[in-house]
Amino acid sequence: MSAQLPIRRLGTSGLEVSAIGLGCMGLSFGYGPETSKEDAIKLLCKAFELGVTFFDTAEAYGPFANEALLGEALAPFRDQVVIATKFGFKNGKTDLGLDSSPQNIRNVTEAALKRLKTDRIDLLYQHRVDPVVPIEDVAGTVKELIKEGKVKYFGMSEAGVESIRRAHVVQPVTVLQSEYSLWWREPEKEVFPTLEELGIGFVPFSPLGRGFLTGTINANTKFDPTDFRNIVPRFNEENRKANQIVVEKLREFAKKKQVTPAQIALAWVLAQKPWIVPIPGTTKIHRLEENLKAAQIILTKADLQEIEDVFSTIEVQGARYPQHLQQRVGK
């Protein structure tokens, strides 16, 4: 294990991972063309070499390609890492709608085990709450998979507090994964107190604001036609322009601390709770190195207060999801 990354405990279930994980989605899906297999494997191996022991994927990333990539890349050190994947869409395709039926959960688990070249999934998330399948049935199915040794821990993603509580009664939830960053702080209101009460860990996705908080995106940025950000209101040209103030403030603060905006964005997330483990995504080794150094940054109480004072006055423009996808979150 590299000295660079401390270990964190995700809630009270005993799951321990590197303080920063790696979000692997962008290697295959979401932000333009997929990375070549050779480069992607190099990046995943480098992450492990630098101390990352927590890798995030999903059936839907590709679909299937991202799990298969991780299966191949992580095989040499499989037993030293925690692999998290997700079920919950029809045929693994996000545009076909949700499917958390017990049969689909079982099918996806079996297929994911094969693609990941493993005999157990360390952390299995429901990707989105499915309104037509009682959450008790979902939790009950994962409970059976845990009994069968195919899954170790149960997670939920973008679930609301009522679903979390109901699921937790049937099968303890180890982790909630939802969007959280300096420009999306909604989980602090209801979700964090619930997680703290129930001993559930938190994994913020898009902790770099899908790249925006790094300062590399502005009103002139042109995304690849297949890039998801083309349909996100927060990323339309007008809102990118209006939201530059967020980046300006981050830059100013980062300069004082002699670090980068991306590193401040991650250090801030890490400073919120000891049971939080962000999973920034990147396809580039130099950015991976940059991002992981955030675990070494100590933000003092005064630093955090300064960030609070500045950012609480900024109103971020634009919804984080288009309307049809917004309906799927917080359920």
Ligand X SMILES: NC(=O)c1ccc[n+]([C@@H]2O[C@H](COP(=O)([O-])OP(=O)(O)OC[C@H]3O[C@@H](n4cnc5c(N)ncnc54)[C@H](OP(=O)(O)O)[C@@H]3O)[C@@H](O)[C@H]2O)c1
C-alpha dihedral, 181 to 194 to 157 to 95, nearest 10°:
-90
Between the alpha carbon of residue 211 and those of residues 57, 103, 181, 248, the distances in Å are 18, 36, 11, 14
Concerning whether 61 is annotated as a catalytic residue, the answer is yes
Q: Token digits for 137? A: 């049935």
- Minimum distance of ligand X from residue 301's CB (angstroms): 26
Contacts (CB under 6 A) with ligand X, residues 45-64? 56
- In the complex, least distance from residue 30 CB atom to ligand X, rounded to whole angstroms: 7
Q: Is 254 in the site for ligand X (CB under 6 A)?
A: no
Asked if residue 90 binds ligand X (CB under 6 A), the reply is no
Residue 287 interacts with ligand X (CB under 6 A)?
Answer: yes
Query: With binding defined as CB under 6 A, does residue 28 bind ligand X?
Result: no
Nearer to ligand X, 171 or 283 (CB): 283
- Using CB under 6 A as the binding rule, whether residue 191 contacts ligand X is answered as no
85 binds ligand X (CB under 6 A): no
Q: Which residues pair with 184 in a beta bridge?
A: 181
Asked if residue 26 binds ligand X (CB under 6 A), the reply is: yes
Interface with ligand X, residue 214, by CB under 6 A: yes
Least distance between ligand X and beta carbon 172 (Å): 20
* Site for ligand X contains 216 (CB under 6 A): yes
Among 71, 155, 187, 209, binds ligand X (CB under 6 A): 209
Please, what is the minimum distance in Å from the beta carbon of residue 261 to ligand X?
8
Residue 16: its H or E element: strand 16-18
Nearer to ligand X, 139 or 176 (CB): 176
Candidate residues 11, 88, 201, 211; the one interacting with ligand X per rule CB under 6 A: 211
Phi and psi, residue 152, nearest 5°: -100, -45
Please tell me the distance from the alpha carbon of residue 278 to that of residue 321, in angstroms, as a whole number.
20
- The smaller minimum CB distance to ligand X, of residues 228 and 275, is found at 228
Residues that bind ligand X (rule: CB under 6 A) add up to a total of: 29
Give the three-class secondary structure for 161: helix
Does 206 help bind ligand X (rule: CB under 6 A)?
yes
User: Of 61, 125, 153, 180, which one is the catalytic site residue?
Assistant: 61
Q: Does position 71 bind ligand X by CB under 6 A?
A: no
Pairing of β 7-9 and β 22-23: unpaired
205 CB-near residues (< 8 Å, 6+ apart): 23, 56, 157, 177, 178, 179, 180, 279
Name the residue nearer to ligand X (CB basis): 161 or 262.
262
Q: How far apart are CA 180 and CA 182, in angstroms?
A: 7
Interacting residue with ligand X among 184, 202, 205, 235 (CB under 6 A): 205
Q: Which 3-state string (H, E, C) describes 173-239?
A: CCEEEEECECCECHHHCCHHHHHHHHCEEEEEECCCCCCHHHCCCCCCCCCCCCCHHHHCHHHCHHH
Q: Supply the DSSP string of 91-137, one letter for each residue.
A: GG-GGG-B---HHHHHHHHHHHHHHTTSS-EEEEEESS--TTS-HHH
From 96-104, 245-253, 286-294, 298-306, span contacting ligand X (CB under 6 A): 286-294
Residue positions counted in the chain? 331
- List residues with catalytic annotation: 61
Q: Which residues bind ligand X (CB under 6 A)?
A: 23-26, 31, 56, 127, 157-158, 177, 205-211, 214, 216, 262, 279-284, 287, 290-291
